[in-house]
Structure 1
Amino acid sequence: MACNHTDPSALYPFDARGIAKRFRHAAIFGALDALMPGETMRFCNDHDPIPLLNQLNQRYGAQVEILYQQRVPGEIVIDFIKK
């Protein structure tokens, strides 16, 4: 899927599995900061990122909706929707 920044309902993939662990949270925050309202970042990871979700709630509150798309061990997919 091509990135279309003029479409407010655009969905952007973010695969955390290819990012070094020490850089992941900073990269995720940067990606979320770059989203426009209505855009979605589809986050893929190999584990359920509970500490990250807590940080997102503290940092963004109701500005980012967290919606699990898939929650099986080794294959976690979460949509982060910017409000």
Structure 2
Amino acid sequence: MANETTIDVRTMAPRDRHPQIFSTFDAMGVGDAILLINDHDPKPLFYQFQAERPGEVSWAPQEQGPERWVIRIERVGAPAGGGVIMMEQTPLVLDVRDDLRNGREPFGRIMETVASLQDEQAMLLIAIMEPVPLYEVMAGRGFAHETTRTPDGDWQIRFFRQ
């Protein structure tokens, strides 16, 4: 039977919140969940989970403000390496939302970022639309991708070498 742990971070020091949440998450088995209670929208935590634990987490808002946010964070996948905690490089994050909103084509910036990646490093692209044509371009360069639509309607695409 899956376990659910409630973490109310409203009374915690801000510097202690993310470490406590990730420590609890990392100790959980697949199917276990955290019921997070916060006094603001924990969107930065969502982005951190997507970047650092891709494919491992389900993020399900239960209550969304204005004074209290409740998010169910479930472990849906095993850690990379079949349970062995592996140190992986931090993905290079490229946020092209402002480019797209202002009518600028971000393709050049994206390709420059790809060219700067280290051998096993991933890229996390944040956009206001799903960049479907980019998938084929990146596949031609040996990259696979994982795509997530965020609760606010943005897109996060993690590109990684196959």
TM class by smaller structure: 0.7 to 0.9
Aligned length: 76
CA RMSD of aligned residues (A): 0.9
Displacement after TM superposition at 1:37 (Å): 0.6
Does residue 1:45 correspond to 2:38, yes or no?
yes
**CA distance in structure 2 between the aligned counterparts of 1:24 and 1:72, rounded to whole angstroms:** 18
Displacement after TM superposition at 1:58 (Å): 0.4
**CA distance in structure 2 between the aligned counterparts of 1:49 and 1:12, rounded to whole angstroms:** 17
- Which 4+ residue blocks in structure 1 deviate beyond 4 angstroms? none
- 2:20 alignment partner, one of 16, 27, 50: 27
Does residue 1:65 correspond to 2:65, yes or no?
no
Does residue 1:79 correspond to 2:79, yes or no?
no
Does residue 1:11 correspond to 2:4, yes or no?
yes
User: Which has the higher Rg, Structure 1 or Structure 2?
Assistant: 2
**CA distance in structure 1 between the aligned counterparts of 2:68 and 2:42, rounded to whole angstroms:** 11
Structure with higher helix content = 1
Displacement after TM superposition at 1:74 (Å): 1.2
TM-score (norm. length: structure 2): 0.45
| Highest RCO, 1 vs 2 (Cα 8 Å, sep ≥ 6) | 1
TM-score (norm. length: structure 1): 0.86
Q: Write out per-residue CA displacement over residues 27-76 of structure 1, whole angstroms, 9 at most, x where no aligned residue.
A: 11101101111011100000001111101110111201000011121110
Unaligned runs of 5+ in 2: 77-162
Does residue 1:55 correspond to 2:48, yes or no?
yes
Unaligned runs of 5+ in 1: 1-6
